[in-house]
Amino acid sequence: MSVSATESTASTGYAESAIRVLKGLEPVRQRPGMYTRTDSPLHIVQEVIDNAADEALAGHARRIRVTRHADGSVSVEDDGRGIPHGLHPEEQAPVLELVFTRLHAGGKFDKGKGGAYSFSGGLHGVGVSVTNALASRLEVESHRDGHVARIAFADGEVAEPLTRRPLQPGERRQGTTVRVWPDARYFDSVELPMAELTHLLRSKAVLLPGVTVTLTDEKTRQTQSWQFKGGLRDYLQQTLAAEPLIPLFEGEGYAPAGDDSFAEGEGAAWVVAFTEDGPLLRESYVNLIPTPAGGTHDSGLREGLFQAVRSFIELHALLPKGVKLLPEDVFARASYVLSAKVLDPQFQGQIKERLNSRDALRLVASFVRPALELWLHQHVEHGKRLAELVIRTAQSRQKAAQKVEKRKSSGVAVLPGKLTDCESRDLARNELFLVEGDSAGGSAKMGRDKTFQAVLPLRGKILNTWEVEPQRLFANQEVHDIAVAIGVDPHRRGDAVDLSGLRYGKICILSDADVDGAHIQVLLLTLFFRHFPALIEAGHVFVARPPLYRVDVPARGKKPAGKFYALDDGELTAILDKCAQDGVPREKCQISRFKGLGEMSAEQLWDTTLNPDTRRLLPVTLGDGDAAATVRCFDQLMGKGEAAARRELLERYGDAVDVDV
């Protein structure tokens, strides 16, 4: 007996009334880990500190004071302009209230067109509102325009409405004070990690020369204060554990008005030390925000250092025969502090641990390389000492790679003719791209870095190998070529597998960003999951994500014309929305859709998909499900006898999928 759709949904409790809409700050309290770190309240306090630092960066504050109170609360005080406390012209609510209760409200969106901040760490507009959402109580005082405004919140809601009074004689005329009581329900521990907080505040003082940063701990009755007039250089010199091999290399560079590539004021300041031994110090910041996971600005520093040192070594003919330099040879013994200024930084995640802005690599490298080249030519003896260190590092790396190759060189099969191999034999560095089609393979061969990236073009769609016996695999030429190129024999889950013959640390599936490309991805994933499972378990298989769209955006305000790439329609919409915020209507943005990888130039393919510093590469894992669940899924999708199950799947979910065919 059949059951109607209405009866079915009613029985499961899934009806219109089951859809819940989260409002205000409720999404943050439901999933705090999506917005902040939940091991301690440090990050929600840092959001308040960052706002104070942004005032100093804009030149309006000279003092930041942080206090850990005896009751566990934390207050942050600055002498900046004070948060506006009048009514918002559109929302008709006090701005001071909106900033702390709306996820996307702030003064840092309109950059470069008369906004409140030209450069700031704020990006997402969810900063201090997250602090408020995860606090049992939060109090704000703003000194501005001859008045003091005060408002208090409890559990993210207004507890004491906004009040204003005239300034009293002797009161400071401007500035903001925020006091927050973190809610223990949302954190593993409500204790602030004082060592991390101290390091954060000290770094703010380093990056803001002349600004005084103070930390007071009422529990221990201790006060620390920092002011670094020498900036980055003083900080690195005081922190380095070993004596530098050559004098510190420091510099800065910022784009002038009218620059063709970057907005006025974008650039970086840096100081670099090379040591022969001892621990390294590596810290980077974007608009004063620490980026402990690095990002494209770190990659730009590495690229600039490498190009300059390689140029010096080649000019003076210092490189021994048979030695090939790589960026990591120059970077291996480098300690640095890097402070980048980026007009519209794109971070990975709300906690901003890594910078993703593609242009930041070119930005930093364009200033570092000429500065270091000039410095090395002015200090030739120092340059030669650095060259000796770099060459020794390269020789050690090559010797280590040769030892590994010698151990695994027995019985090597003849490599397929269409494989364009790489020069390196360093397994940890080498990458193989399995590319859809000869046309895309040609672009990949021209765009790749031939030192460590190999390309194997595949003609059309490979065989569905889900139900193919291992002894019949090599009857298919494409599968044969893949197996021989990889250097590992087919096997099944649970077999004792010898991976000593593996030739590449990363095996990357690179197909078009369309339906056919997705089908090829599935066929290759089927091959690896069924016949090379040890490669997936060991983390050697990846999926490259090329863009589907390119958006050419004209100049807007301080921002020069630029090119942006989108993986899908969602990212395209986000780019166009951001352009609209910057005053560029959709019709002025030129949108190009890539019909396939073959349409991309070698340079575009490198920038978006091959360059390790700017690409998006997804590791292939079993995910949350176990191996048995994955096998069942593949059975349903790839099994010859599962046509009925696939049809049922399509009938059930087909109307929910927007397919571009």
Tokens 């460590």 found at: 452
Q: Is there a binding annotation on residue 352? A: yes
DSSP SS3 for 428: coil
Q: Which residues, 6 or more positions from 241, have their beta carbon under 8 angstroms from its beta carbon?
A: 278, 279, 281
DSSP assignment, residue 461? Answer: P
> With contact defined as beta carbons under 8 Å apart, do 456 and 434 qualify?
yes
Q: Is there a binding annotation on residue 122? A: yes
- Residue 124: strand pairing partners: none
Question: What does the angle CA 419 – CA 423 – CA 429 come to, to the nearest 5 degrees?
Answer: 95
Q: Is there a binding annotation on residue 414? A: no
DSSP SS3 for 426: coil
Torsions phi, psi for 374 (to 5 deg)? -65, -45
Q: Is there a binding annotation on residue 147? A: no
Which one, of 481, 489, 491, lies nearest residue 454 by Cα?
481
DSSP assignment, residue 559? Answer: B
Q: What are the angstrom distances between the C-alpha of 145 and each of 59, 84, 86, 163, 195?
A: 18, 9, 10, 14, 37
Give the count of alpha carbons within 13 A of 466, CB side only: 18
Q: What does the alpha-carbon distance between residue 469 and residue 345 come to, in Å, rounded to a whole number?
A: 51
Q: Is there a binding annotation on residue 219? A: no
The token duo for 392 is 């020794």
- The one-letter amino acid code at 209 reads P
The token duo for 486 is 């990889």
Q: Is there a binding annotation on residue 60? A: no
The token duo for 162 is 């906004």
Q: Is there a binding annotation on residue 524? A: no
Helices 380-407, 359-378: inter-axial angle, 10-degree rounding:
120
Q: First-to-last CA distance in the chain?
A: 38
DSSP SS3 for 345: coil
Tokens 């575009």 found at: 604
Dmax of the chain from CA atoms? 91
Q: What are the angstrom distances between the C-alpha of 118 and each of 49, 163, 559, 660?
A: 18, 30, 11, 40
The token duo for 127 is 């900063």
DSSP assignment, residue 610? Answer: I
Q: What are the angstrom distances between the C-alpha of 617 and each of 228, 546, 609?
A: 40, 9, 8
Q: Which residues are catalytic?
A: 436, 512, 514, 516
Give the count of alpha carbons within 13 A of 165, CB side only: 7
> With contact defined as beta carbons under 8 Å apart, do 272 and 339 qualify?
no
Q: Is the CA virtual torsion 614, 620, 621, 623 positive or negative?
A: positive
Binding site, annotated residues: 14, 51, 78, 122-128, 352
Binding site, annotated residues for ATP: 14, 51, 78, 122-128, 352
